[in-house]
Amino acid sequence: MTEQCSPCKQLHIFEYSNNVKIIIHIDSLALGNAIGGTRMLPYDSVESAIQDVKKLSSAMSLKAAIHGLNQGGGKCVIFNPEKLHFNEIAPLYTSALNQLAGSFIAANDMGISIKMINDIRHLSPFLISSNQLIDDPSYFTALGVFHCIQYITKNHLDTTIPNIKIQGLGRSGAPLCKMLLDSGFKVSAYDIKVSHVEQFKKHPNFSALDETNWFSLPCDIFAPCASGNVITNSNVHLINSKFVCGTANNPCENMAVINTLHSHHIQFIPDFVSNGGGLIYAAGTYHQLSRKEIIDKIKNIPKLISKLSCSSSNMYVNALSIANEKISSFVNES
Ligand code: NAD
């Protein structure tokens, strides 16, 4: 089933047996073919999977535009209520990608590892690893956030060794934690999986936080690196940091939360700015840029922060308007 939601947006739902659905949402093709990850999480309903894919794909359009990539935004979620192994689903998934004929280029995301994508690269030319085996983009996502944190520390904090609090030490949070500790930052972290925290416990600059109070403990920079919607209308008043800058997509529940952070003088670095490193790596590798070219682009992410903080309105609003302007100016030109 394909639904044309608006002139640019397309929702494609490919249905298979065992109630498996490959759901691909293309949010925008204005700047180029859409690129984005594939998620396989236990969704409660098809409707919640569709809501997730729409929200995530629109963030991908903004991310590609703000980072100057000639890509549109898209995302795929796999609805898999019977928990079939990915190997069973892979031929359906790649056939769905092939039917879209390159309007969507797929990467990995939560529930799908880069190994799973590398292992099936022969089945579709529309996987980010189709041209070459690729590394996990998560490292590059973490690298972008690391450079943002370094920039904030140098330009906006009155301490040289700030306290960074991380939620989630998974594929992006763990490398971020390691980069920060290796560079002399103090890091505290909370993860629901104790084993993810264990690896850092011996480091003298690391402290493990527990479930009961991790959220409200003060820090200079809070780095949400787990799932989205962690800062909500009901807990935003507990945030005790000067900055929020992490890898998580949509860490704020809604715009009201973002506005509350701003009014409390807590600077929220827009997620689609801070976490763009993985997309820059994925798109760059697909287009066969060198590693140095990719890393140089990622090191430039903090320049966006200075651009966004030059007016009194909040950075998120400024970032939205820059990204949307880029997308719409291209649509108007063509
Ligand atoms: P992941 O699944 O590898 O890691 C998430 C970690 O958070 C896990 O260790 C998990 O145990 C922990 N966690 C889950 N719920 C938690 C909770 N309530 N409290 C504390 N810890 C919790 O995921 P990831 O790839 O690192 O992605 C994390 C976030 O960053 C997601 O929102 C993802 O969409 C976003 N993101 C990731 C990338 C990337 O390249 N990996 C790129 C852009 C955005």
Q: Are strands 21-28 and 10-15 parallel, antiparallel or unpaired?
A: antiparallel
Nearest CA to ligand 1 atom 39: 138
| 8 A C-beta contact, residue 159 and residue 220 | yes
Report how far ligand 1's centroid is from the alpha carbon of 172 (Å): 7
- Which residue type does 319 have? A
Place of tokens 């963030």: 59
| 8 A C-beta contact, residue 90 and residue 123 | yes
Place of tokens 């403990």: 217
From the list 126, 129, 162, 157, the residue with the least C-alpha distance to 33 is 126
Taking only the tens place, the pLDDT of each residue in 249-279 is 999 999 999 999 999 999 999 999 999 999 9
- Which residue type does 80 have? N
Report how far ligand 1's centroid is from the alpha carbon of 311 (Å): 31
| Ligand 1 pocket, Cβ-based, cut-off 6 angstroms | 110, 137-138, 141, 167-173, 190-193, 196, 225-228, 247-249, 275, 278
d(CA 220, CA 199): 23
d(CA 55, CA 252): 13
Question: At 332, is the pLDDT very low, low, confident or very high (cuts 50, 70, 90)?
Answer: low
d(CA 330, CA 324): 10
Q: Which of 58, 116, 138, 139 to mutate to test ligand 1, by most ligand atoms within 8 A of the CB atom?
A: 138
Report how far ligand 1's centroid is from the alpha carbon of 119 (Å): 22
Catalytic center residues: 75
- Average pLDDT on 173-189 reads 98
End-to-end CA distance of the chain: 28
In whole numbers, what is the pLDDT of the chain averaged over residues?
94
Q: What pLDDT score does 105 carry?
A: 97
DSSP state of 203: S
d(CA 88, CA 3): 26
pTM of the predicted structure, to 2 decimals: 0.92
Q: Is the pLDDT of residue 324 over 80?
A: yes
3 state SS of 188: strand
Taking only the tens place, the pLDDT of each residue in 210-240 is 999 899 999 999 999 998 899 999 999 999 9
Taking only the tens place, the pLDDT of each residue in 197-212 is 999 999 999 999 999 9
Q: What are the structural domains, with CATH classification, of the chain?
A: 2-58+72-133 (3.40.50.10860), 138-276+305-321 (3.40.50.720)
For the record, the structure tokens of 210 come out as 């527990």
Nearest CA to ligand 1 atom 35: 248
Q: What pLDDT score does 72 carry?
A: 95
From the list 142, 116, 138, the residue with the least C-alpha distance to 129 is 116
Measuring CA to CA, how many Å separate 98 from each of 14, 104, 114, 132? 12, 9, 19, 18
Q: Which atom of ligand 1 is nearest to the CA of 169?
A: 9
| 8 A C-beta contact, residue 218 and residue 195 | no
Q: Which of 76, 212, 215, 227 to mutate to test ligand 1, by most ligand atoms within 8 A of the CB atom?
A: 227
User: Count of residues for the chain?
Assistant: 334
